[in-house]
């Protein structure tokens, strides 16, 4: 669909909560944005996709969500740029999650079936397959699905839906564990997926998923978690509500360090598993933080505006002093920052990254060139903007040499400033 056609259609639309159906009030507006993962090549076409990105909040469901989202097929296509296995700490993370979940939920089960929704390149599912368990990965992006298949994993190259759940159920039966990481927040038809989960899990089965956590976004001002793929940012309050609409129950919660602050939700059929105290405690914490009140999001929007001004001022000062500034990590998140703040290659002249599918391309919208971090011909800059701030520890420890040579890093989370001053 042409950009203009899409925008016109959206302007006419009244936005409603994807969970409750209530009208949505706009709380945060981040302006004209391209796709977060829409890295482009030269020559730049006129057809780069842009849309107006703003968020709404519904006090009944507690869902913080994008008002409009490009078609899923625009985002998750055959050239999807994100590969889960590019970070060593993420590889370790998924291996640990698999061990914990298998021990906790599959221990006494002789022939369990595990389904992963949005399995990417198989970074989690390979740990299930190694245990000899029956498994299915569902992955809509063809290029990453092929990598998972090449690892010998059983993959459906499609979107997860109620129809697909029925197909899996009729060929393999009900499943014991459904897992999803950084996927559920991408799915606009969340009611359909919860319905599908309810029908696919066995009576004592469990659905576990983890996603960037709304409470962290509000507390850390990490507004870059908002981009086209993240149609929702969840909280315990909103997931508790969603479960209740589908005969499911939120039975446990765990804070997770990934993606700059995530939450892992454990869900089962109503009344089938004991409910941990963590759920009540977290809901109380969220109520105190104001996550159920619309005012909280208007205040957040004001802090986002301040963050923009501070980042622009810091980068403009660096430019006036003749400093070379690069960004570290061609993240989807940073697409939001560059396009919202108006940061182009005059302020950040280059992005470095280690992902082969991004190197040689340009960042979406503002077209900052992306180079291989390990390219020996690339001189170090004076300053790095830590776009991949969610991997801060891994990057800081691997870049000790740079730090000792006086290269500085800046961040915008939770405040704009220098990391190593």
Binding site for ligand TYD (CB under 6 A): 82, 86-87, 329-333, 353-355, 358, 373, 388, 390-391, 394-395, 398
Q: Which is nearer to ligand TYD, 54 or 84 (CB)?
A: 84
Sign of the CA dihedral 282, 285, 287, 289?
negative
Phi, psi of 275 (to 5 degrees): -100, 125
In angstroms, the CA 201 to CA 176 distance is 6
Name the one residue in this structure whose structure tokens are 């454990």: 266
| Cβ distance to ligand TYD smaller for residue 248 or 330 | 330
Nearest one of 312, 336, 335 to 325, comparing CA atoms: 312
Total Cβ atoms within 10 A of residue 69: 21
CA 216 to chain centroid: 13
> Considering the complex, what minimum distance in angstroms separates the CB of residue 119 from ligand TYD?
15
CB of 280 to ligand TYD, least distance (A): 31
Question: Which among 257, 222, 215 is positioned nearest to 412, based on CA atoms?
Answer: 222
Query: What are the beta bridge partners of residue 207?
Result: 178, 267
- Is the CB of 246 or the CB of 358 nearer to ligand TYD? 358
Q: How far is the CB of 389 from ligand TYD (least distance, A)?
A: 9
Q: How far is the CB of 34 from ligand TYD (least distance, A)?
A: 14
CA atoms within 13 A on the CB side of 324: 9
- Residue placing its CB nearer to ligand TYD in the complex, 176 or 211: 211
* Nearest to ligand TYD of 194, 384 (CB atom): 384
**What's the closest the beta carbon of residue 80 comes to ligand TYD, in angstroms?**
11
Q: Looking at beta carbons only, is 234 or 241 nearer to ligand TYD? A: 234
- Sheet with strand 63-66: strands edge to edge: 25-34, 50-58, 63-66, 232-233
How near is the Cβ of 412 to ligand TYD at its closest, in Å?
Answer: 13
């Amino acid at each position: 669909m042409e950009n203009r056609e899409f925008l016109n259609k959206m302007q006419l639309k009244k936005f409603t909560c994807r969970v409750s159906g209530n009208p949505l009030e706009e709380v945060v507006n981040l302006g004209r944005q391209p796709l977060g993962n829409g890295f482009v090549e030269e020559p730049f076409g006129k057809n780069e996709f842009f849309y107006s990105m703003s968020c709404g909040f519904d006090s009944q469901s507690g869902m913080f969500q994008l008002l409009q989202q490009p078609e899923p097929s625009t985002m998750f296509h055959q050239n999807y740029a994100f590969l889960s296995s590019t970070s060593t700490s993420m590889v370790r993370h998924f291996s640990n999650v698999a061990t914990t979940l298998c021990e906790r939920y599959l221990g006494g089960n002789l022939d369990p079936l595990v389904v992963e929704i949005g399995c990417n390149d198989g970074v989690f599912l390979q740990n299930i397959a190694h245990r000899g368990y029956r498994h299915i990965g569902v992955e809509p992006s063809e290029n990453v699905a092929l990598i998972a298949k090449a690892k010998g994993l059983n993959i459906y190259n499609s979107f997860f839906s109620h129809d697909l759940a029925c197909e899996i159920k009729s060929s393999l039966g009900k499943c014991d564990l459904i897992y999803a990481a950084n996927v559920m927040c991408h799915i606009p038809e969340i009611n359909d997926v919860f319905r599908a989960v309810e029908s696919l899990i066995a009576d004592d089965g469990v659905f576990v998923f983890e996603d960037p956590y709304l409470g962290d976004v509000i507390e850390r001002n990490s507004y870059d978690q908002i981009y086209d793929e993240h149609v929702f940012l969840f909280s315990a309050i909103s997931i508790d509500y969603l479960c209740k609409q589908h005969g499911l129950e939120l039975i446990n919660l765990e804070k997770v360090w990934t993606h700059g602050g995530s939450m892992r939700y454990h869900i089962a059929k109503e009344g089938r598993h004991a409910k941990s105290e963590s759920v009540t405690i977290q809901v109380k914490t969220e109520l105190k933080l104001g996550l159920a009140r619309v005012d909280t999001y208007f205040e957040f929007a004001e802090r986002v505006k301040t963050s923009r001004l501070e980042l622009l001022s810091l980068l403009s000062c660096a430019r006036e002093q003749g400093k070379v500034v690069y960004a570290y990590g061609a993240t989807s998140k940073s697409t939001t920052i560059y396009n919202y703040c108006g940061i182009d290659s005059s302020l950040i002249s280059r992005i470095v990254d280690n992902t082969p599918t991004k190197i040689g391309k340009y960042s979406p919208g503002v077209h900052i060139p992306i180079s291989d971090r390990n390219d020996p011909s690339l001189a170090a800059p004076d300053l790095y903007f830590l776009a991949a701030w969610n991997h801060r520890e891994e990057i800081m420890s691997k870049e000790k040499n740079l730090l000792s040579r006086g290269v500085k890093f800046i961040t915008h989370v939770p405040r704009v400033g220098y990391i190593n001053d």
